[in-house]
Structure 1
Amino acid sequence: MLAYSAGMLYVEINGAAPSIADLHRVAVVNYGHFTSMQVRENRVRGLDLHLRRLDDASKELFTATPGTDRVRSLLRQALDHGPGDVSARISVFARSGDISVPTPDVDLAVMVSLSDPVPETPQTPWSVCSIPYLRESAHLKHAATMGLIRARRAARSQGFDDAVFIGPDGLILEGSIWNLGLWDGETVTWPQGPKLPGVTEQLLTMGLHRIGVRTRTRPVVAQDLAHYQAAFASYSWCPAQPLASLDDVSFANPPAAFTMLEKAWDSVPWETV
């Protein structure tokens, strides 16, 4: 088990210890995609959605796929070497060859990384700011993360906790590594536009419908924010992290709204890997 200062780290590529050549390929070729999830007692919420995300993105980026059965098997194998509760990241990349040549004959590799689990408990409400930015191929959870990291750094240099991206047309899109949810007292709204359809967002939407709460996806601009009582970030670490403010708009965040979100999330079933 490889170790780093924050705790445990275990990595396998195609079910084996990574070679220097494999790690060099991952480090210098910024073309691939991944998904991240929390594992508890070898179970995952939305595992089928994570596997489908990897399959769809592989077809789009590589015209090939490692196969969901293989990916699931490799995750299960890696979990046998670690504790039952971990944070897992599954990455897909081309192990060799010229990836600028579009061909289905590609040597796809699956890297499974396990690290310390992250509690789903929300942190102190975040203050976030808007930054003009549109991720390339925003519907994919791809490895090209420089832009979003620069946005987060810019936000934090101004004293904020994180950044929300605004597109060139003024639409509020998504957070740096999370989806934005808004509550008006009756309905949860997810901003519409070029963004990543997060697995946690999808699962929380299903859970809200299960408990009888309406959701919608619609365009949101800055002028709309004052109409919402609560705002939250939704991602693999936390389904509903409260936002205290976005730019100069503050949110009341009534406790009942987050009790509702917690109830919806608790209704999402676990799947055994």
Structure 2
Amino acid sequence: MPDRVLAVLTAPAAGGEADEPYRFVDPAVPLVSAVDLGVTRGDGVFETLGVGEGRAQAVDAHLARLTRSAAMLDLPAPDEEAWRSAVSAVADQLSGHVEAFVKLVYTRGVEGTGQPTGWVLGSPSPDHTVARTEGVRVTVLDRGLSHDSAGNLPWLLQGAKTLSYALNMAAGREARRRGVDDALFVSSDGFLLEGPTSNLLIKDGDRLITPSTSLGILAGTTQAAAFRFASGQGMSTSYEVLPRDVLESADAVWLLSSVRNAAPIREIDGVERRIDVGFTAALNAYLLARRE
């Protein structure tokens, strides 16, 4: 079974003409131009989907978010059907792996051509068993912006999943420098936001809560699935503007992402947190089995 699968979109933007929506390419062969704006300026967007036994998860939600992110960058609207076809084909090639992931990359293309580029790369997932069962330790980092800045500063592209991920990667390195596994951003005025590559989920009694997307955070596909799971369990769900001290009274807290799924937070800045083992196991079982 292949360890890496790559499909290049023939015409990634809506309205393009192509005999075939994609072509498979040897992932070991150089592909991207050195003057592609996705490389030189991070001028593009991406998505990462989980794959379970050859079936891509939450495809509609990820393609909708790819389209929203593209619009925020004034990129041409992606051809969602072409991308869907490529995602399905790449995921199918990974059917021999219990868990895998597929990454969609859509850039402005080679400077001066006006032609965007796009590709879909699939690979087996790392083993996230420890994070899902034993939990992760996090540090809280100031993002440097007030909680109400998103509406006033649209050029900062808050809420878009762009290729400009240097800040997110720097936050992850800072977390590791502090001897922990991950980070959690707060606004400069003390409101909860998101992780560098994840959404925050909080359990308070029979409620599940997540920070509001009005704060300029990325709308999470896995978080949305967690809310559907909770509703099926008779719980209420809510998007809210949450001060940092909510973490202290919460019954349990998780970081959610498409590949790691639900990682319970077991320590925040050196303070141990309780893990809800039963709810975590049930939530991860639901997320791993989803095909929507």
Q: 1:35 to 1:23 in 2, by over 3 A?
A: same
Question: What residue is the counterpart of 2:108 in the other structure?
Answer: 94
Deviations along 1:100-129, one digit per CA (max 9) or x if unpaired, are xxxxxx412221011113456415321111
Indicate which of 260, 265, 268 corresponds to 1:246.
268
The amino acid that maps onto 2:211 is: P
Contact 2:55 2:92 in 1 (8 A): no
Helix, strand or coil: the match of 1:173? coil
Matched, 1:191 2:186: no
Of 173-182 and 109-118, deviating more is: 109-118
Q: CA deviation at 1:12?
A: 2.7
Indicate which of 267, 270, 273 corresponds to 2:291.
270
Matched, 1:22 2:32: yes
Contact 1:182 1:231 in 2 (8 A): yes
Helix, strand or coil: the match of 1:172? coil
Q: CA deviation at 1:196?
A: 0.8
Q: 1:107 to 1:261 in 2, by over 3 A?
A: same
Q: Distance in 2 between matches of 1:263 and 1:79?
A: 20
Q: Distance in 2 between matches of 1:21 and 1:255?
A: 44
Indicate which of 97, 109, 112 corresponds to 2:117.
109
Matched, 1:174 2:194: yes
Q: 1:224 to 1:21 in 2, by over 3 A?
A: closer
Instruction: Show the 5 A alignment for 1:129-144.
Output: 129-133=139-143, 136-144=156-164
Q: 1:225 to 1:78 in 2, by over 3 A?
A: closer
Contact 2:136 2:181 in 1 (8 A): yes
Indicate which of 22, 25, 50 corresponds to 2:62.
50
Matched, 1:13 2:16: no
Q: Distance in 2 between matches of 1:264 and 1:113?
A: 25
Q: Distance in 1 between matches of 2:187 and 2:253?
A: 19
Helix, strand or coil: the match of 2:162? coil
Contact 2:6 2:120 in 1 (8 A): yes
Q: Distance in 1 between matches of 2:75 and 2:46?
A: 16
Helix, strand or coil: the match of 2:223? helix
Of 79-88 and 195-204, deviating more is: 79-88
Runs of 5+ in structure 2 lacking a partner? 10-21, 146-155
Higher strand share: 1
Q: Distance in 1 between matches of 2:282 and 2:133?
A: 17
Q: CA deviation at 1:269?
A: 4.0
Contact 1:225 1:249 in 2 (8 A): no
Matched, 1:157 2:177: yes
Q: 1:155 to 1:79 in 2, by over 3 A?
A: closer
Q: CA deviation at 1:194?
A: 2.1
Matched, 1:71 2:86: no
Paired residues in the alignment total 259
Q: CA deviation at 1:80?
A: 5.3
Deviations along 1:162-186, one digit per CA (max 9) or x if unpaired, are 1111112211100111111111222
Identical residues among aligned pairs (%): 22
Contact 1:139 1:196 in 2 (8 A): yes
Of 151-160 and 135-144, deviating more is: 135-144
TM-score by length of 1: 0.84
Question: What residue is the counterpart of 1:231 in the other structure?
Answer: 253
Contact 1:125 1:242 in 2 (8 A): yes
Helix, strand or coil: the match of 1:62? coil
Q: Distance in 1 between matches of 2:290 and 2:285?
A: 12
The amino acid that maps onto 1:232 is: W
TM-score by length of 2: 0.79
Q: Distance in 2 between matches of 1:220 and 1:206?
A: 21
Q: CA deviation at 1:133?
A: 1.4
